[in-house]
Every structure is written in structure tokens, then in C-alpha cells.
Structure 1
Amino acid sequence: MSDETRPYLAVGPRVGLRPFSYADADEFTARARESRELHRPWLFPPCTPEAYASYAGTLLGDPARAGFLVCERDESGRIAGFVNINNIVRGGFLSGALGYGAFAHAAGRGLFGEALGLVLEYAFGPLGLHRLEANIQPGNTASRDLVRRAGFRLEGFSPVMLFIDGAWRDHERWAITAGERRPGTGEGPGPGPEPARSV
């Protein structure tokens, strides 16, 4: 599909961000099914059209959430993954929490570093947010590496924080604020040394 029929909210050299739509159900769920081995045990995106319709509906109808499909900007226009900003709080907080996943065909190609940079620019620009947080299970090294490269800092450790796949899971809290991002790159000033923590 051409760029004209896929309205992007932000674009980079290789990927663009566009809103979720119900019309993406077949491709999204096929990519999710292909990516089960990559995603487990960290992530459980919708794998059926019915589950996708419910998921997309919550993103499209909730002002406290913003959902982005990450699409390749080549002739294929394939959906490479998704990034959501959840729990958006306005007022004095101006913050949101990230959720994201790359699909298997896009993993390891650097597309998500570019996509996360675009999300940071959009969040700290048009959305007017001040802070983004990513909560990551300690064993999910790919996700930790992604946010570290983008300039997020490790803020702390929360035991049994989120209920995922039948159990309460520990999470690390990574965050970045608008003033820490290097304009034009989506990156912060660099991660610096990782603070020590007890386990």
C-alpha cells in the first residue's frame, strides 16, 4: 500500500508511525502468530481478529492511550510492530507508560530503534508529554537494550508489579523526560552507568 493510503503521524528513513485501524486486523494478527516464539514469555499481542478488534477499540476510544503501528516504508508497507503509550496522565504529571513489540520479520534490523525515536518525538511534541516510562521484566534483555540506547535511565525495581501470563512479575522501571532527549534523534544523553540494585 502506498504512503498516500497509509497516513503517517511521523516518518523516519525506514519506518513510519500510523494509527491502529480495524482494517489492519488480518495482517497484524498474522504477524503476531508468526512472532509467538519471539514474544513469549514477555508479550501477548492479539492473535485473532476478534481479539484485535477489542484491542484496537480500546486504543482508538481512550484519550489516555495512543497506539502506533510501526510500518516499513518500502514498497511492502509491512507492519513491523507496534508502540503504545498507555496510562496517559495530564495536568502536573504529563506522563505515559510505553508498551511495544516488534514482529519476527523486523527483529534485529534496527527498525525499532528508529521507531522508538519517532515515538519520543511525537510524545514530547504533538502529544505534549513530559515523561515516558517503560516497565520491563529483568530478563528481557532486548527490551532493556532498546530503551537504554534511546536514552532511558533505570529508575528502580518493582517486585511483583504486573500480572502477566498467570503470575505477578518483577519489573524494572526505565524513564526519559522531554529535556533529556536529543532533538532530531529520539535519543537521550546516553545511559551512563547502570545503578546497582539488590535482588
Structure 2
Amino acid sequence: MTTDWPVILVDGELTVRPLATSDSDAWRRTRQRNAAWLVPWDATVPPGGDARPTSFRQLARRLGKQARKGTTYPFAIDVDGRFAGQITVNNVVRGSAMFASVGYWIDRDVAGRGLMPRAVALVIDHCFVNVGLHRIEIAIRPENSNSLRVVEKLGIREVGYAPRYLHIDGDWRDHRLYAVTREEAPYGLLRRLREGAP
């Protein structure tokens, strides 16, 4: 396996790089400015669940430690050198499964420009080629039309429906499940996106 972390992925004005403690102020400002837009899709801690880190710096340190272990890969999304969102590869499973899940969010100010499909494609291509994973899954609330558009643009197929799948915005929420395997994107998702062919 080649070195898979840390890594910087670039496509034009879009850079996907490791989330760092130095992103604290930009992350907080972006989250505050986008709070109303993001809250309906944000994961929350269910009653009895593990407490979340109390600060961004604690979160970034915890995610960085997990990245060094190869269980999570937390990326910041920069657009023209400015922090604009986050994409995280979670629940990396090795062994006979070789899969992971991907979650993401973006600043509303840059949404609708095709940036998130490109960022997701960059990360999934990295996971297939450099991390050696075989399958990537994305779980999306049925009401999240923006996120559904991302998987549609990338030609990632729906594989199931999971009632009460994740604790989001204070309750257990249903999710549509999407997945792509390495065989389904032999030349990569970024190339597929550019060619417009699912």
C-alpha cells in the first residue's frame, strides 16, 4: 500500500487537504454563518452516546490521530485558498471488507458550483488508488436534495434504504444508501464526472 496520509488533492481552484487545528477560526466562522443551512443534516449525539469533543481543536486532534491509524481521513475543502467545507472518510474497515463511508458539507456561499462532486470524486479516487479500499458508501437523508445531487452527478448508485439509520438534528433519521466499488469506476470518479457518463 502506498502512503495515504497526509495527502493534498488538487483540481483547479479546489484543494482537498488534511483538516488541521489551524483551521479552527475559519471552521467556526463558516459553521456559524451556515448554521441554519447545515443543522438539518448535522450528526448529533443520541442519548447515552459518547460525548463529542468540546472544541474544534480537540476534534481536529482526535481525527488526526484516527487518520494516522488509518481509520478516518478528515479533509478540509479549500476554494481559491479559502476554507469552504469538510469531507471525512469514516469507519474505514480493512480485512475482507475494505470499505468506508464518506460524509461532507460545504459553505453555502460556494454551493451550486459543482465543487462538492469534484471534492467527493477526488477523495473516493484517492481511497481506491492509494488507500486500497474497494467500496465507498454515502448515506443521505431523503430530504437532502443538494447531497442527493452530488451522488447523481457522480453516477453513484442507490443500494438501499435504512430506516432510523443515523442520529441527525436531534433524532434517528432515515437515510438512502449509495455505494460505489472500485470496479464500477475503473478510471476514477473525477474522470467520470468530467466526461458526464455514469
Does residue 111 in structure 1 map to residue 88 in structure 2? no
Shift of the 61–122 alpha-carbon distance from structure 1 to 2, 3 Å rule, reads same
Q: Which residue of 1 aligns with 2:21?
A: 22
Q: How does 1:156-195 map to 2 (within 5 A)?
A: 156-181=160-185, 183=187, 185-186=189-190, 187=192, 190=198
The answer to which structure has the higher helix fraction is: 2
The Cα shift of 1:175 comes to 0.5
Structure 2 distance, partners of 1:169, 1:54, is: 27
Q: How does 1:10-159 map to 2 (within 5 A)?
A: 10-43=9-42, 50-62=54-66, 63-72=70-79, 74=80, 77-159=81-163
The answer on whether the counterparts of 1:31 and 1:104 sit within 8 Å (CA) in structure 2 is: no
Equivalent position SS for 1:85: strand
Uncovered stretches (5+) of structure 1, i.e. residues with no partner: 1-6, 191-199
Equivalent position SS for 2:130: coil
**Normalized against structure 2, the TM-score is what?**
0.83
The Cα shift of 1:8 comes to 5.8
The Cα shift of 1:155 comes to 0.3
The answer on whether the counterparts of 2:43 and 2:166 sit within 8 Å (CA) in structure 1 is: no
Aligned amino acid, residue 163 of structure 2: P
Higher deviation after alignment, 12-21 or 50-59: 50-59
The answer on whether the counterparts of 1:18 and 1:68 sit within 8 Å (CA) in structure 2 is: yes
Q: RMSD in angstroms over aligned alpha carbons?
A: 2.0
**Normalized against structure 1, the TM-score is what?**
0.83
Aligned amino acid, residue 59 of structure 1: L
The Cα shift of 1:13 comes to 1.4
Structure 2 distance, partners of 1:166, 1:111, is: 28
Shift of the 13–184 alpha-carbon distance from structure 1 to 2, 3 Å rule, reads farther
Aligned amino acid, residue 61 of structure 2: G
The Cα shift of 1:116 comes to 1.3
Identical amino acids, percent of aligned pairs: 33
Structure 2 distance, partners of 1:182, 1:107, is: 28
Higher deviation after alignment, 17-26 or 104-113: 104-113
Superposed structure 1 runs of 4+ greater than 6 Å apart: none
